[in-house]
Structures are given as structure tokens and as C-alpha cells.
Amino acid sequence: MREVVAAQTSISDIDGGAGRLWYVGYDIADLARHATFEEVVYLLHNLELPTRDQLSELDTFLVNERVLHPFLARMMPTLAQNTSPMSMLRTSVSASSAFDPDGWDESPEAEYRKAMRLIAETPTMIAVFDRLRTGREVVPPHPELSAAANFLWMLHEREPDPDDAAVLDTTFVLYADHTMNASTFTARVIASTLSDMFSAITGAIGALKGPLHGGANEEAQKMAEEVGKSENAEAYVRDRLARKEKIFGFGHAVYKTMDPRAAVLKDLCRELGERVGQPKWFEIFSAIEETTLEQKGLYPNVDLYAAGVYHMLGIPTDLMTPIFALARMTGWTAHVREQYAHNRIIRPGSEYIGPRDRTYVPIDER
């Protein structure tokens, strides 16, 4: 199903032909260059960029909500032993409904606070999970660091290089929202029945988990590792295409040219590679890009170069989709709140293509 308008929104907009994306009217490249993730959280939820005071109030709220609730902290060791990171996230968000201080309060103010808590807690869930599954001590959140820097701190137990934190922050900005993609649509459908925020976000995480949506950054990294060096890329891509296999991190349901987020990430991947002495990832991804464009006319999407960036920041491959989720938590929750504010149940039609007017045949005569 394509190009069907499922909702009106003031949150983000895409021009697929021109390769443009805007958050509340601001060009994504401009935001990637200048805005922090926290400013974007404020923007997508309040439809205006924050003043210093507004941003500082939001920062304080987010920092105070970073610590895991004891209920989740008790559950996490079991999840760390038994589930994948995305399954952990889906289960943890679902479980969060049990102890959110705003409980079943459905006022707009309570929904805003629930959204901010989810945005604040998701990075902690992911970092705690990774520490536990690798047999390391949990690192408590750092109250003086931004969301991106704090995430690297909790994952690696050392204060990150500010340039690394800035790169991660930019990726959060780029992943924060993307109009009516599969997971956002899922969240809005659930919200449109007037089900609760946690149910809507749990469903969204389930939709993001698939390799055709959020899982593509992990697949892109695995692909780059298989390719090994840029000289192998052309044969690898030709081979895959000949076998009718997907090249992950390419193609898009809406963009028919370069995804504007991929353009930013391509520069980040090159610059980061040069800075940390790992130019190989950029070389492999750009060689894959060259052949895929030439052979199939497909451009990179957000997930291709993001994979290289996350890898060089020391992020395990199977945490790449959860990181997409922690950033997209902003967009999902903003869309859920927008859906509640102007709700009508989403109930698409279907086109029936089966047989008609059949006569019931008793079971012994079939």
C-alpha cells in the first residue's frame, strides 16, 4: 500500500523526489549541523525550537528520568540472558506501563511526561542490557552528560571524546522522526483506538525490528564485514543482485534519490574514519554505493553509513537497531500525542480478491 494519506501531521515532511526532509519546517541538514538531540526532542513535541530556559527545564526532566525503575532493573538480568536487544526493548517498554508515575492519567500533560520518560529511559535500558549480557557491572547514568554522551558513558564506562558524542548526537537527530514509516504508522494505528502510549510504542518497536525497516543498519554492517575490503565490493554487489538478494542500506519507499540523512551520514562516516584511523569502513561502503547505483540505480538510505559510524564508535552491531529505536522514540511519542489530540480511529479498507457467491457444501460432501 503506497501514497495513501493516513493522517495529517505537523511533525515532519518528506519530498521523496527532491530528497528533502523537514522536521516542523526545518531542513534536516540544517538541524543535523546545528541542533542537539534534546533540542529536536523539544521541537518534535512542541513544534517550536526551545528557548534556553525551556531546554534547560527539559534537560533536567530527562536527566532525572534516566535511572531504571527497580522493577525493570530486576527484570533486566533475565532479559539479558534470554532475548535479543530489540525483544528486550519491546518487553521493557511494555513493562514500563506498570510503574509509570502518571499511570493511566490520559491528560495531555501526563502523556507528555510519559513520552519524555520513555525518551529518557530507552538509552539506559539498552546500555544496562549490554553490560549485563557481557558480564560487566552496570554503569549508572551520568547526570552531567547529554543523552548521546551519557549513552556512550553507560556503554563503555568512560567519558566519551566530545567529538564522538557529537557524532552520535547527530545520528540521534537524523533518526528522530520520518513521517508515516511502518513503525510510526503502527504506533498511530494503536493510539487511534485510544489504547495507551506504552501499547502504541511497544507495537512500533515490533514493526521497527524487521530487516526491511530498522534492522537494515545491522545488516549493512554485516555486509561490510563480509565484503572485508573495498576491492571486493563490486563482485559482492553483482553477485548478490544476480541472486536477487537485497543490498541492505539501499532503496527507499519514498526517496527516489539520495536520502538526505544518508548524505550527512556519509560525511560523518568519512570524517570519523579519518579521525580514528579506520578509513576502511567508508571505503567499503562507498564502493558498495558505487556499484549498487551503477547496477540497480539504487541510492543509499539512512542505514548504510550509520552502520559504519556506529561500528567506529564501538557500538556492537546488534545494538544498532535499538539505537535507531531510542532516537525514533521521539518521533513515535510525538505522533502518538498528535494522534490523541486529533483522533479518529484509523481503519483502512481492503481490496477483496477472493472468490464470491459460493454455496456452502456440507462437510461429508467436500
User: Nearest residue by C-beta to ligand COA?
Assistant: 251
Identify the sign of the CA torsion 114, 118, 120, 124. positive
Residue 221 binds to ligand COA (criterion: CB under 6 A):
no
Shortest approach of ligand COA to residue 212 CB, angstroms? 4
Select from 101-109, 279-287, 297-305, 344-352 the region that touches ligand COA (CB under 6 A).
297-305
Backbone dihedral angles phi then psi of residue 270, each to the nearest 5 degrees: -65, -50
For Cα atoms 329, 209, 133, give the angle at the middle one, nearest 5 degrees: 90
User: Would you say how long the chain is, in residues?
Assistant: 366
Query: Catalytic one among 164, 177, 303, 311?
Result: 303
Query: Catalytic one among 45, 69, 156, 252?
Result: 252
Instruction: Out of 251, 260, 273, 308, point to the residue binding ligand COA (CB under 6 A).
Output: 251
Q: Is 188 helix (H, G, I), strand (E, B) or coil?
A: helix
Shortest approach of ligand COA to residue 23 CB, angstroms? 17
Looking at residues 306 to 345 of the shown chain, list those that interact with ligand COA (rule: CB under 6 A). none
Q: Pick between residue 153 and residue 305 the one whose CB is nearest to ligand COA.
A: 305
C-alpha cell at 28: 534536516
Query: Is 145:161 a contact under the CB 8 Å cutoff?
Result: no
Query: Is 4:350 a contact under the CB 8 Å cutoff?
Result: no
Q: Pick between residue 212 and residue 235 the one whose CB is nearest to ligand COA.
A: 212
C-alpha cell at 181: 514509516
3-state SS record for 58-104: HHHHHHHCCCCCHHHHHHHHHHHHHCCHHHHHHHHHHHHCCCCCCCC
Shortest approach of ligand COA to residue 314 CB, angstroms? 23
Shortest approach of ligand COA to residue 306 CB, angstroms? 10
C-alpha cell at 255: 526517496
Residue 98 binds to ligand COA (criterion: CB under 6 A):
no
- H or E stretch including 202? helix 197-208
Residue 250 binds to ligand COA (criterion: CB under 6 A):
yes
Select from 58-66, 138-146, 295-303, 307-315 the region that touches ligand COA (CB under 6 A).
295-303
Instruction: Out of 43, 120, 168, 216, point to the residue binding ligand COA (CB under 6 A).
Output: 216
Q: Pick between residue 16 and residue 316 the one whose CB is nearest to ligand COA.
A: 16
Select from 6-14, 134-142, 247-255, 315-323 the region that touches ligand COA (CB under 6 A).
247-255
Cell 519514498, located at residue: 254
Residue 301 binds to ligand COA (criterion: CB under 6 A):
yes
Q: Which amino acid is at 327?
A: A
Instruction: Out of 212, 222, 231, 267, point to the residue binding ligand COA (CB under 6 A).
Output: 212
Q: Pick between residue 194 and residue 253 the one whose CB is nearest to ligand COA.
A: 253
C-alpha cell at 306: 550509520
Query: Is 329:201 a contact under the CB 8 Å cutoff?
Result: yes
Instruction: Out of 98, 143, 253, 342, point to the residue binding ligand COA (CB under 6 A).
Output: 253
Q: Sheet holding 12-15: strands in order across? A: 12-15, 20-23, 26-27
Q: Is 303 assigned a catalytic role?
A: yes
Rounded CA separation 298/279 (Å): 24
Residue 93 binds to ligand COA (criterion: CB under 6 A):
no
Rounded CA separation 80/350 (Å): 40
Select from 112-120, 144-152, 248-256, 275-283 the region that touches ligand COA (CB under 6 A).
248-256
Q: Is 163 assigned a catalytic role?
A: no
Sites of contact with ligand COA (CB under 6 A): 212, 216, 246-253, 296, 298, 301-303
Which residues are marked as active site?
Answer: 252, 303
